[in-house]
Amino acid sequence: MKKAEDIRSTASDITMKIVACVLLLVTCNLLLVTDGSTGVSDRVAAFVDDEAITNSELQEQYTETLKITPDITKDEVLNTMINRVLILRQAKKYRIEGPSPDEVIKEYIDLKVRAVIRVPETEIEKYYKENSSMFSGKEYDDIRDDIEKYLTEKELNARLKETLRELRKTAYIKILSKQGQ
């Protein structure tokens, strides 16, 4: 009996020492990874209410966006980042969730903006007649769905711009430095 208690006590001591060593290693690793200057050198580019967008976040997004859109400016990227914060905040109010922020934004747009857009048949027909030269002799029935998608996206963009304009009116947005380029 005494031997079993000694073994348990020794096992418990070893477990505690292992836990202490792991904690010590994690702490040392954190101290090595963060050198203290990170917080000072990473200034805030903009505030959206109580959320900050840092210069490093802006630079990272700008670098990624340049690969897709070479003529974009940092100001445009910053405004896009501000819009993302606003839409994500709205999506959170409606308890919209997703595996990534991009999915949450897409879901919000689909549920709150796209879902209420209906393009009347008369508008589709009118667009076809006014732009028939673009369709190089294609019949209305062959091109109708494409026209509807186009007109839906056009309306979606207009409504999304209006939604963002309204969200910006009620948010405190402070851009701290001119980004340029």
- Domain assignment of residue 181, yes or no: no
Task: For residue 170, tell me if it sits in a domain.
Answer: yes
Separation between Cα atoms, residue 48 and residue 90, nearest integer Å: 13
Distance CA 70, CA 66 (A): 5
Q: Is residue 1 part of a domain?
A: yes
| Overall number of domains in the chain | 2
Q: Does residue 61 belong to any structural domain of this protein? A: yes
Q: Are 75 and 15 part of one and the same domain?
A: no
CATH code at position 81:
1.10.4030.10
Backbone angles phi, psi at 12, to 5 degrees: -65, -40
Asked, for residue 44, whether it belongs to a domain, the answer is yes
> Both 40 and 27 in a single domain?
no
Report the residue count for the chain.
181
Say if residue 81 is in the same domain as residue 8. Answer: no
Per-residue pLDDT at 42: 81
Same domain, 23 and 91: no
- The answer to whether residues 79 and 143 belong to one domain is yes
9 and 41 co-located in one domain: no
Q: Specify the pLDDT at position 41.
A: 60
* Neighbouring C-alpha atoms within 13 Å toward the C-beta of 121: 2
Classify residue 180: in a domain, yes or no. no
- Which residues share a beta bridge with 134? none
Q: Name residues whose C-beta falls within 8 Å of residue 1's C-beta, 6 or more positions apart in sequence.
A: none
Same domain, 121 and 62: yes
Q: What average pLDDT values come out for the chain (181 residues) when binned by 10 residues?
A: 48 50 42 46 89 94 94 95 96 95 96 94 94 87 94 96 96 80 49
Q: Are residues 116 and 75 in the same domain?
A: yes
Residues 150 and 111 placed together within one structural domain of the fold:
yes
Structural domain for 23, as ranges: 1-33
Q: Are residues 121 and 141 in the same domain?
A: yes
Shared domain check, 163 and 123: yes
Question: Among the residues of 42-139, which ranges form H helices?
Answer: 55-68, 74-93, 101-112, 121-130
Please tell me the pTM assigned to this model.
0.69
Q: What pLDDT shows up at residue 10?
A: 52
- DSSP 3-state percent helix, strand, coil across the chain (nearest 5): 70, 5, 20
User: Residue 3: its pLDDT value, please?
Assistant: 46
- Rounded to whole angstroms, the Cα distance separating 156 from 117 reads 7
**Amino acid 18: pLDDT:** 55
3/89 same-domain check: no
